């Protein structure tokens, strides 16, 4: 992979890697992820024979810079800068909140040709876990405290609804837990990207109904019903959406299952 850096509109350096040759595909990670996570590297390697794959660090993560104040608009500009560096337009795959960020970017005019999003984490009804009403305030307070471990646990338990046993097991996997702690300060960014759509209310039509890019909305067959409902709601609001469930998959998605789905959709072989 080739390491490169592009400057976002506000001057923040955004680090990215490139691999392969062909139509450009940008990978947008969700909460906790960065460009050199093992699964992202594997996906890039699987797609590289057909595509020019770009994996980048969202601001505040990995080798990318940050700014004193956060705004979703700056993250949209970051993705726009990466797409521009990729040749002026690109296909995009976004995971979880990264998929929501990619669609928000498309709605503002970032030239995304085709988009695929996996498990956008909206909560459109009361069928699944809902964060507490003071989640945002508590999350910011924990980040300000500097206790990264507690911040990670709080986001996983109260934000994502992860089982206590799972969080405990992750804490014992020290190298992985350290990676999670390293990006704990960016967790409010993902909450901001969701813009109030995680508290069990119907998904608004905007900005999704304004997105003209053909978009494939995915969930996994082992996903909880709440996430399937979220994917259905998003697809129903988009004029050029396609909907698909990947049998046997959960939030820990197999990249060997995903890669041919992306290839088919990005090369329009449906």
Task: Give domain status of residue 218, yes or no.
Answer: yes
Is 130 part of any domain? Answer: no
> Is the pTM above the cut of 0.75?
yes
From 159, 158, 236, select the one nearest 204 (Cα to Cα): 236
pLDDT of residue 194: 97
The mean pLDDT of 140-162, rounded to a whole number, is: 96
The total of other beta-carbon atoms located within 10 Å of residue 26's CB is 25
pLDDT digits (tens, 9 = 90+) for 84-138: 999 999 999 999 999 999 999 999 999 999 999 999 999 999 888 999 999 999 9
- Helix, strand, coil percentages for the chain (3-state, nearest 5): 45, 20, 40
* CB contact at 8 A, 118 and 243: no
Number of domains in the chain: 2
pLDDT digits (tens, 9 = 90+) for 183-216: 999 999 999 999 999 999 999 999 999 999 999 9
Is 142 among the domain residues?
yes
What mean pLDDT is reported for the chain? 96
Domain presence at residue 238: yes
pLDDT at 180: 94
**Is residue 205 situated within a structural domain?**
yes
Q: Which of 169, 193, 217 is the last residue of a domain?
A: 193
Say what the pLDDT of residue 115 is: 98
Q: Is residue 62 part of a domain?
A: yes
The count of other CB atoms within 10 Å of the CB of residue 200 is 16
pLDDT greater than 90 at residue 270: no
- The CATH number of the domain holding residue 257 is 3.40.50.1820
Domain extent at residue 179: 135-193
Domain match, 236 and 167 both: no
Confidence grade of residue 174 (pLDDT, cut at 50, 70, 90) = confident
């Amino acid at each position: 992979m080739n390491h490169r850096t592009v400057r976002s509109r506000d001057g923040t350096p955004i680090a990215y890697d490139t691999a392969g040759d062909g139509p450009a595909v940008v990978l947008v990670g969700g909460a906790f992820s960065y460009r050199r996570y093992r699964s992202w590297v594997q996906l890039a390697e699987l797609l590289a024979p057909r595509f020019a794959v770009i994996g980048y660090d969202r601001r505040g993560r990995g080798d990318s810079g940050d700014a004193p104040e956060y705004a979703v608009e700056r993250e949209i500009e970051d993705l726009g800068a990466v797409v521009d560096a990729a040749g002026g337009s690109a296909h995009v795959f976004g995971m979880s909140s990264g998929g929501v960020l990619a669609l928000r970017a498309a709605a503002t005019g970032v030239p995304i040709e085709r988009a695929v999003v996996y498990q956008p984490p909206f909560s459109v009804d009361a069928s699944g876990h809902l964060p507490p009403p003071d989640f945002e305030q508590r999350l910011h307070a924990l980040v300000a405290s500097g206790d990264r471990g507690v911040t990670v646990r709080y986001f996983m338990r109260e934000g994502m609804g992860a089982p206590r046993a799972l969080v405990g097991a992750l804490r014992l996997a020290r190298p992985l837990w350290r990676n999670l702690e390293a990006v704990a300060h960016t967790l409010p960014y993902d909450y901001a990207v969701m813009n109030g759509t995680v508290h069990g209310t119907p998904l608004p039509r905007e900005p999704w109904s304004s997105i003209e890019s053909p978009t494939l909305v995915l969930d996994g067959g082992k996903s909880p019903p709440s996430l399937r409902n979220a994917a259905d709601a998003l697809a129903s609001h988009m004029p050029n959406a396609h909907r698909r469930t990947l049998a046997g998959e959960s939030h820990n998605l197999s990249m060997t299952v995903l890669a041919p789905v992306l290839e088919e959709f990005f090369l329009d072989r449906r």
